[in-house]
A and B are shown apart, each in its own frame.
Chain A
Amino acid sequence: MPSLKDIKTQINSVGSTKKITSAMKMVAASKLRRSQEKAEAARPYSSRLEEMLSSLASSAASGEGIIKLLTGTGNDQNYIVVPVSADRGLCGGFNSSINRETFKLVKSLEGNGKIVQLMPVGKKSRDFFNRVMKDQIIESFVDLNVSSTGYESALNISNKLQELYFDGKFDKCILVFNKFKSAISQEVTQQQLIPLDVSNSEKEEEKENSSNAIYDYEPDEETILKDLLPKNVSIQIFKVLLESDAGEQGARMAAMDNATRNAGEMIDSLTLKYNRTRQAFITKELIEIISGAESI
């Protein structure tokens, strides 16, 4: 039987853990609000851009130059997969679900005879894929801090991707990230970034709406499209980074909330054990005294 002192130390250590986790929960909650605001603020831009793009997409005829971002290279052989994880742990299944999903995706693509490369974003996925698929990583991005650096961080990724794309290093690019559904739930999502996927049913509707509107284009459709497409890639990445950041804070908040509750339960059961043990000691001592007195 553990001594009273042992149980006391255990209670104290669980208590301080509880303090830490509840502090982390508070921090995550306030960060979540900030990231959510950021994600919200970025929405008008990306939705406008998408609208513009879908009204222009139909006019893209040739598959040359920058337009390739829209029409594709015509091949379907080389893939690049970009898992977007967090830089830090202690946020439940947030990172591991990204890594698992990416791993599955890579394996299934490879099963179909494709060549897959990886470009992890965030420390947790970089470290994971460094262990399991080191030679497939071509570049990794860590310490992005999207909530403080903002759009710049997305630009870096997008520039690198486009450079590789126009060098003919890959035909398709798929992002794997946590989509922010609510403060407590995230959904692992795959999104094809290059070539641009305009076959969405949502966008079809928009296309119909905007096809009623006949725009004049200045200088001309193709030039605008050439400007618009690279920007769209960056803005999509930016959006994903923001969503993932908000999701991370949400996941951490939920995980820490659970941990705090578990610590509370543990303290309760330990306190009960402590009291029982104390009582047992007292009873034992009493018995000793009484039986001692009786024997005289």
Chain B
Amino acid sequence: MATISFDLVSPENLVFNDEVGTIIVPGKDGDLGILPGHSKVMSSLRPGRVMVYSEDKNLIKSFFVSGGFAEINPEKCIVLAESVVEVNSLEKTSIEKEIQELENKEGKELEEQLSVAKAKLEAINVNYYDKI
């Protein structure tokens, strides 16, 4: 089976760069499953999980991104994300606290932060896509 090269880039560094089997990215209009030979797509992303699978469909890593862009062509997939955290390293209690703090305040920028924080919490709680 073929592989597709996958780059996950944050402004500060190159987070992930390897040949993989499948990637699932949270597109703005819905999740995109990317296999080798995918057609050319450019998509913006919503806050959510970027899942990386090996050729035999085992989950290698899952990241949380707070939004960004994905550029996909048959050989390569590049995800540009503003902030990238591994889902495993997220802590439930600290995020819940963050959400509470944000909910008490008001403001336009905070709303965005809040939705990112909520998406983070969701990313920890859900487990679909763990097996494909």
A residues with CB within 8 A of B: 38, 41-42, 44-46, 48-49, 52, 56, 150-151, 154, 213-219, 223-224, 227-228, 231, 234-235, 238
Of B29, B32, B44, B83, the residue contacting A227 (CB under 8 A) is B44
- Give the chain A neighbours of B83 by CB distance below 8 A: 151
- Give the chain B neighbours of A52 by CB distance below 8 A: 42, 69, 71, 80
Q: B56: CB under 8 A from chain A? A: no
Least distance between B70 CB and chain A CB atoms (Å): 9
Docked-complex contact A218 and B71, CB < 8 angstroms: no
- Give the chain B neighbours of A46 by CB distance below 8 A: 11
Of A48, A56, A217, A219, the residue contacting B9 (CB under 8 A) is A48
Q: B57: CB under 8 A from chain A? A: no
Main secondary structure of the interface of B (DSSP, over half): strand
B residues with CB within 8 A of A: 7, 9-14, 27-29, 32, 39-44, 67, 69, 71, 73, 78, 80, 82-83
- Give the chain A neighbours of B12 by CB distance below 8 A: 38, 41-42, 150-151
Docked-complex contact B28 and A214, CB < 8 angstroms: no
Docked-complex contact A218 and B29, CB < 8 angstroms: yes
- Give the chain B neighbours of A235 by CB distance below 8 A: 11
- Give the chain A neighbours of B10 by CB distance below 8 A: 45, 151
Beyond A214-B40, A217-B43, A219-B29, whether A224 also contacts B69 by CB under 8 A is yes
Docked-complex contact B44 and A216, CB < 8 angstroms: no
Main secondary structure of the interface of A (DSSP, over half): helix
Docked-complex contact B41 and A218, CB < 8 angstroms: yes
Beyond A49-B80, A52-B71, whether A217 also contacts B42 by CB under 8 A is yes
Beyond A38-B12, A216-B42, whether A48 also contacts B29 by CB under 8 A is no
Docked-complex contact A48 and B43, CB < 8 angstroms: no
19 A-B contact pairs sorted by A residue (CB < 8 Å): A38-B12, A41-B14, A42-B12, A45-B9, A48-B80, A49-B69, A52-B42, A151-B83, A213-B73, A215-B40, A217-B42, A218-B27, A218-B32, A219-B28, A219-B43, A224-B42, A224-B43, A224-B69, A227-B67
Least distance between A110 CB and chain B CB atoms (Å): 35
Docked-complex contact B44 and A48, CB < 8 angstroms: no
Least distance between A142 CB and chain B CB atoms (Å): 22
Docked-complex contact B39 and A216, CB < 8 angstroms: yes
- Give the chain A neighbours of B39 by CB distance below 8 A: 216
Docked-complex contact A41 and B13, CB < 8 angstroms: yes
- Give the chain A neighbours of B40 by CB distance below 8 A: 213-216
Docked-complex contact A44 and B14, CB < 8 angstroms: yes
Docked-complex contact B14 and A228, CB < 8 angstroms: no
Docked-complex contact A218 and B43, CB < 8 angstroms: yes
Beyond A38-B12, A49-B80, A213-B73, whether A44 also contacts B43 by CB under 8 A is no
Of A216, A223, A234, the residue contacting B41 (CB under 8 A) is A216
In Å, the complex CA distance between A128 and B56 comes to: 62
- Give the chain A neighbours of B28 by CB distance below 8 A: 218-219, 223
- Give the chain A neighbours of B27 by CB distance below 8 A: 218
- Give the chain B neighbours of A42 by CB distance below 8 A: 11-13
Least distance between A49 CB and chain B CB atoms (Å): 6
Docked-complex contact A48 and B14, CB < 8 angstroms: no
Write the chain B residue with the least CB distance to A154.
Answer: B11
Least distance between A266 CB and chain B CB atoms (Å): 43
Of A56, A151, A215, A219, the residue contacting B11 (CB under 8 A) is A151
In Å, the complex CA distance between A216 and B40 comes to: 6
Least distance between B10 CB and chain A CB atoms (Å): 7
In Å, the complex CA distance between A214 and B9 comes to: 23
Kindly name the residue among B13, B40, B78, B83 whose own CB sees the greatest number of chain A CB atoms within 10 A.
B13
